[in-house]
Structure 1
Amino acid sequence: MLIRTLYLITVLTALLAGCITLPQNPATQNGGTTETVEPDQRAKSLERAGRYQDAAFEYQLLAKRTNPPARQNYQLNAVKALLKAKLLPAAKIELNTIDFNQSFGLEISRELVEASIALAEQQLDAASQRLDRLTYLQMPEILRIEYHDLRAQLFDLQDRKLEAVRERVQLDTLLKLDSPVTAKNNHQAIWDGLIALDSETLTQLSQPSGDILSGWAALVLLTKTAPAERIAESINGWQMRFPSHPANSDIVQNLLQENRQVASKPVKIALLLPLTGKFRPQAEAVRDGFLTAWGENRLNQPEINVKDVTVENVRRIYQEVVDHGANFVVGPVQKDAVTALVGQQTQLPVPTLILNYLDIPMVVGNLYQFGLSPEQEASEIATRAWADGQRSAMVFVPKVEWGDRVLKAFQTTWEKQGGQLTKTVVYTESDIAKTVKKAVSDGKMANMVFMGAFPKHGRQISPSLRSFYPGKLPIYSTSHVYQGVAAPTEDFDLNGVIFNDMPWVLAPSEKSRPLLTLIQQSWPEQFNTHKRLYAFGIDAYQLLPHLRQMVLQRTQLEGHTGLLSVDDKGSVYRQLQWAQFVNGVPRLLGSGALPQE
């Protein structure tokens, strides 16, 4: 959190707090100059060092030694330090001990602290109301720093990325009053906010010449669009347009340094897939998507070596392809094969993109993880539903291992935000209608449903809920509820259901359409069944030259399976699109668009 220490904001408070005058050296005692030291200097130094709990203790000691109204000022500073230390209960207790009747000039500071606590407790409406009733022109500049930062945090939590960035750009003009470290952190927050925007939005923002925000947008845009080997050249052109831009002080230098560390493009790739056995059709679809992407550009094509692997032979074959010169390995895909390959290793010999996720998160050198994770989709639903204003949820999941996984993922994210789970219903295929009726008749109300279901089951659960539940109840589901091909008659019973899915399925982009058409023509019988797996294979290939850059520079790739990003542990995350069934056909929703009733 970027909330800054509140200094003495009025001359009266400063006089009442008093100052300590110490001689600089013996000469100053004979008519020389003296150095004035503020009594809270130690507390401020501890804050600058990130020792917020210690700083809070110092402020509390100062409060005990000082009379009102300075006492209340120190107490409020202690509250802020505790909030920075993420000690919310202690901050609230300290706040309740402050006698504001004896304070002077702390009205704005108090509102900012109350807004900060509301944000920490995910009470976004309360935080917004407190910030909205403040008069900006009446704030001293030091409090405007807190104000802009709190508004930026609020907008981030509301998924209003661009508004959050605008607040931080305004904040940047005030941070001359604060430490360079604070300005650097603010620059990183601006960068992270803009990285989350799509290229079209960034292009529009980058048009005005000389504007600070346009400079930020143009810099982010070039890191998304310029090839890794031309980043330095592109940044040089950007600096000619924006020679005095604040990003030149840190972000640009980081980009240039990190670009020098980006690994070269793969020249020999080994693709390890289970091409025999029960997963053969799925593996072939991934392979065919991968090779289709490889064949798209025949200039400087890497060599591809496709290997059939099993749990028993995966480690041997992996070592063989590395020994024969592979400088990038893709696969395996099965969880048990992934576990067998990685084992207890801390470093793999070459960059390796496994096509799944480890059950237990761990950091392994040269390891990247990418998959069509139902857990990620369920977690994203919890985030979206909360942003839509839902606060209590009823969950329906099938009595299978897949159902347990999506339930756990949804529940973890939902409860972390403050949401309540009023009921969890585990169903079997034989008694869906009966299970739904029983679940909604016990009086435990919710204002939304998370439905873990494939099309066959979703088409039964959704109309049953409408029949038995009083009033309209929003239903959210993962991509698994949609078979991927429009079927208005069969999917009519899914009307109103909101779900997330990849752009390849919901709204193919201009770059997707030629590949989609080529794959559909090449494998017409398999296309509808494995539509998403083809896109997965394409993205697996197209990710390879960008993975290192995406980790170091926090850039994103507009993939066919979603907007792709990579965390510092090498895990790829997909930001999906949203749709709602209307007349049996998915209708695209914007990221902030409210579903239809």
Structure 2
Amino acid sequence: MRLKLVSLLIVLSGLSACSTTEKPSNTAENQSGQANTALSQLTDAQSMYQAALNRQGADKIQLLYTARDAAITEQRWSLLETICFELESTPSVDQIQNKLYIALAQEKQGKSDRALEQLQLLESQLTLPEHKAWHQYLTARVYASQGMPKQAMPYYFAASTISNENNFTVADLNKDLWASLTQLSSYALERFNRGSVVQQGWVNLALYHQVYLGAPVELHQAMNNWMRRYPGHPAAEILPKKVTELVQVEPLNVNRLAVLIPLSGANERLGDALKAGVLAALDTHPLEQTLFIDESLSAAEISLKLSEFKADFVIGPLLKSNIEKLSTAQTLIDYPVMHLNSFEGERISQQHFFFALSPEHEIQQALERFLTAGYQKPMLLAPNNSNGQRLVEYFNQQWQRYSEVKPQVGFYAGKDDMPKTITGLLEVDQSKERIQVVKSLFKQEVESETRSRSDIDVIYILGDATETRLIKPYLDVNVSTFADRIPLYASSKSHSKQIDSTDKGDLEGLYFTELPWMLDGQIKQHNLRQQYERLWPENTDISQRLFAMAYDATSLLGDVKQLSMIQGKRFAGISGELSIETNGYVTRTLDWAQYKNKQIIAVELATEQPIPLFMQSATGINSAD
């Protein structure tokens, strides 16, 4: 890390040599000698900065320069920002360079909004290639820090192209560019495959990375072809190491699979569903041996069984308490593991992964849909319990990143509480009170119709299937008949194959997210659904969803290593489109469906990565389109 910081310091300091900065001149030899003696006694950025505050003229500027360099080396970003603000009051300082330092310090501190504002103000003042390259690089880092690699890439490409054409380097640019590039899907990469030769070189390298990872011979040949096609490309700095790493990445060779699931007790039924999913996947991906172990056994008993079996991979456990038990005992530390739930504790191994049917995935997907569609004031309806409150809080936290408008929230305690909650949120009760006042003023009959509030533009229901079927009619009768219908959305909890087999009419128009497995005609494995219906026609919704999760957890064993290395890589599963984040968590993108004409139909709803609130005023945002 220290070598990287030194490199950063050298490049940033090099901006001064290319700029028109006037170097502080010595006014007298004795002053210079005194300054040098004092400087030699200062050992860190803070002491240099404090000493500079007591100096005047050239001595002060020189000490501030030295303190600024030291602050970068020491990674003291708050101090760097303070030093740069002090230098802003000095006319002889290269203010463009100094403001780039300020943006760097702010970005490193997580002050992305201030960094972006600083960079926007600089944009029209840039003339030197070094300044332009650093401006583009720092802008890219701001977008990347917000989880927006697609938006960051045009700035990264511009910085790489400028620095390459002008024969200088920008510290950490290649590393950061590659980190964001490998988060993109192959579709997004193809859309970037144009522009400068430098940009195309980066994109094609990432495409080879995705296509041939896990195939050492083909990958090595592809890399050789790339080097012949793009001689002198800036990626050559990281390529030798990357080629070695990538060629060594082969799919996991799993012959002996151990599966930890509930095989006894209150959760045995859930274990049966998981076991069925594993066995169904093994029909098309056969292994030498599979061992099912009851996860309720002690850590010592499980450890002995795994050791005797010589497992290559472990799937499970399902229950969080058992994940914690085995994590504390470090029972699974030497095995690659796909846990079947999330875990609040520390990830004890880089080869441990977590696959959960998390409702937060669906909330994030719905939120992104609302923002893409231009909805500005959502209303949430949720049960007044710990789960409902947790999901509403998660939605609110994420929504506030992108909008200043606060969502309306209604919690209902039960069936009897729903009408009051809905009429209160829609302000229908106030409309009824106004009607009663008007009627009291006239003796004859007054024709009237209640009005609901018109500012709510989308409603998101977070209830289960039974609750959603009670809520929907209340919404239908309480929204003004002469007003535009408010779009209704829900999560997969609202959908039940069991209930839908006899009743779909009450949910007309409702959009919801769902596992492809739970929607007719949405999976390629048609025979699998037919076999399932024949064997378990009465299975519950939760059993079906656990079946799909276990099926996917087993099916992606050969891809788990590549998925964990390439964030842009996706696995088309029956539980959703799957990817693995750097923290080892499997994330899901579900299908959209709608109730229409007493049928459930799959629909395509446009969803884009939203732009954080502080970036929305940015002008000239680049895109791949």
TM-score by length of 2: 0.70
Task: Give the counterpart letter for 2:178 in structure 1.
Answer: Q
Q: Tell me the C-alpha RMSD between the 2 structures.
A: 4.6
Q: Which residue of 2 aligns with 1:567?
A: 581
C-alpha distance in 1, partners of 2:70/2:521?
Answer: 54
1:589 to 594, 597, 605: 605
The reply to whether residue 83 of structure 1 matches residue 106 of structure 2 is: yes
Q: Which residue of 1 aligns with 2:339?
A: 354
C-alpha distance in 1, partners of 2:162/2:370?
Answer: 36
Structure 2 stretches lacking a partner, 5+ long: 1-7, 34-61, 431-452, 611-625
The reply to whether residue 428 of structure 1 matches residue 428 of structure 2 is: no
Q: Which residue of 1 aligns with 2:235?
A: 247
Q: Which residue of 2 aligns with 1:534?
A: 547
Secondary structure of 1:220's aligned partner: helix
Q: Which residue of 2 aligns with 1:558?
A: 571
Worse overlay, 443-452 or 369-378 = 443-452
Q: CA deviation at 1:269?
A: 0.9
Is the 8 Å Cα contact of residues 455 and 480 (structure 1) preserved in structure 2?
yes
Is the 8 Å Cα contact of residues 578 and 591 (structure 1) preserved in structure 2?
no
Q: Which residue of 2 aligns with 1:114?
A: 117
Secondary structure of 1:372's aligned partner: coil
C-alpha distance in 2, partners of 1:543/1:164?
Answer: 30
Q: Which residue of 1 aligns with 2:450?
A: none
1:234 to 193, 213, 219: 219
1:525 to 537, 544, 549: 537
Is the 8 Å Cα contact of residues 578 and 588 (structure 2) preserved in structure 1?
yes
Cα distance change of structure 1 residues 509 and 461 upon mapping to structure 2, 3 Å threshold: closer
Is the 8 Å Cα contact of residues 368 and 607 (structure 2) preserved in structure 1?
no
Q: CA deviation at 1:70?
A: 4.7
C-alpha distance in 1, partners of 2:240/2:467?
Answer: 52
C-alpha distance in 1, partners of 2:144/2:515?
Answer: 23
C-alpha distance in 2, partners of 1:201/1:14?
Answer: 42
Q: Which residue of 2 aligns with 1:60?
A: 85
Q: Map residues 365-384 of structure 1 onto 2, 5 A cutoff.
A: 365=349, 366-384=351-369
Worse overlay, 265-274 or 467-476 = 467-476
C-alpha distance in 2, partners of 1:148/1:237?
Answer: 30
C-alpha distance in 1, partners of 2:277/2:525?
Answer: 13
1:464 to 433, 449, 474: 474
Task: Give the counterpart letter for 1:187 in structure 2.
Answer: L
Q: Which residue of 2 aligns with 1:120?
A: none
The reply to whether residue 183 of structure 1 matches residue 173 of structure 2 is: yes
Cα distance change of structure 1 residues 591 and 336 upon mapping to structure 2, 3 Å threshold: same
Is the 8 Å Cα contact of residues 311 and 340 (structure 1) preserved in structure 2?
no
| CA deviation map 1:157-200 (0-9, x unaligned) | 999865543443233112346644332234224423xx332x45
Q: CA deviation at 1:255?
A: 5.3
TM-score by length of 1: 0.73
Q: CA deviation at 1:154?
A: 8.2
Q: CA deviation at 1:246?
A: 3.7
Secondary structure of 2:388's aligned partner: helix
The reply to whether residue 364 of structure 1 matches residue 364 of structure 2 is: no
The reply to whether residue 303 of structure 1 matches residue 266 of structure 2 is: no
Task: Give the counterpart letter for 2:242 in structure 1.
Answer: N
1:455 to 448, 460, 465: 465
C-alpha distance in 2, partners of 1:236/1:502?
Answer: 39
Is the 8 Å Cα contact of residues 158 and 387 (structure 1) preserved in structure 2?
no
C-alpha distance in 1, partners of 2:291/2:321?
Answer: 22
Is the 8 Å Cα contact of residues 268 and 302 (structure 1) preserved in structure 2?
yes
Larger RCO, structure (CA 8 Å, separation 6 or more): 2
Q: CA deviation at 1:502?
A: 3.3
Is the 8 Å Cα contact of residues 259 and 290 (structure 2) preserved in structure 1?
yes
Q: CA deviation at 1:436?
A: 1.4
Q: CA deviation at 1:404?
A: 3.6
Cα distance change of structure 1 residues 525 and 246 upon mapping to structure 2, 3 Å threshold: farther
Is the 8 Å Cα contact of residues 270 and 305 (structure 1) preserved in structure 2?
yes
Q: CA deviation at 1:303?
A: 1.4
Q: Which residue of 1 aligns with 2:491?
A: 478
Is the 8 Å Cα contact of residues 338 and 354 (structure 1) preserved in structure 2?
yes
Is the 8 Å Cα contact of residues 578 and 589 (structure 1) preserved in structure 2?
yes
Q: Which residue of 2 aligns with 1:105?
A: none
Q: CA deviation at 1:450?
A: 3.2
C-alpha distance in 1, partners of 2:555/2:28?
Answer: 65
Cα distance change of structure 1 residues 163 and 317 upon mapping to structure 2, 3 Å threshold: closer
Q: CA deviation at 1:240?
A: 0.9
| CA deviation map 1:527-569 (0-9, x unaligned) | 7844433321221112323334433444533131233232343
Q: Which residue of 2 aligns with 1:269?
A: 257
Q: Map residues 373-522 of structure 1 onto 2, 5 A cutoff.
A: 373-417=358-402, 420-441=406-427, 446-469=456-479, 472-483=485-496, 490-505=503-518, 512-514=524-526, 516-517=528-529, 519-520=531-532
Q: Map residues 200-219 of structure 1 onto 2, 5 A cutoff.
A: 200=187, 202=189, 212-219=198-205
C-alpha distance in 1, partners of 2:144/2:564?
Answer: 21
The reply to whether residue 283 of structure 1 matches residue 267 of structure 2 is: no
C-alpha distance in 2, partners of 1:69/1:189?
Answer: 38
Q: CA deviation at 1:469?
A: 4.5
Is the 8 Å Cα contact of residues 469 and 506 (structure 2) preserved in structure 1?
yes
C-alpha distance in 2, partners of 1:148/1:213?
Answer: 14
| CA deviation map 1:425-459 (0-9, x unaligned) | 23423432332112332889655433212233223
What is the percentage of aligned positions where both structures have the same residue?
A: 19
Cα distance change of structure 1 residues 190 and 385 upon mapping to structure 2, 3 Å threshold: same
Secondary structure of 1:350's aligned partner: coil
Secondary structure of 2:357's aligned partner: coil
C-alpha distance in 1, partners of 2:539/2:581?
Answer: 31
Task: Give the counterpart letter for 2:463 in structure 1.
Answer: A
Cα distance change of structure 1 residues 449 and 297 upon mapping to structure 2, 3 Å threshold: same
Cα distance change of structure 1 residues 329 and 203 upon mapping to structure 2, 3 Å threshold: same
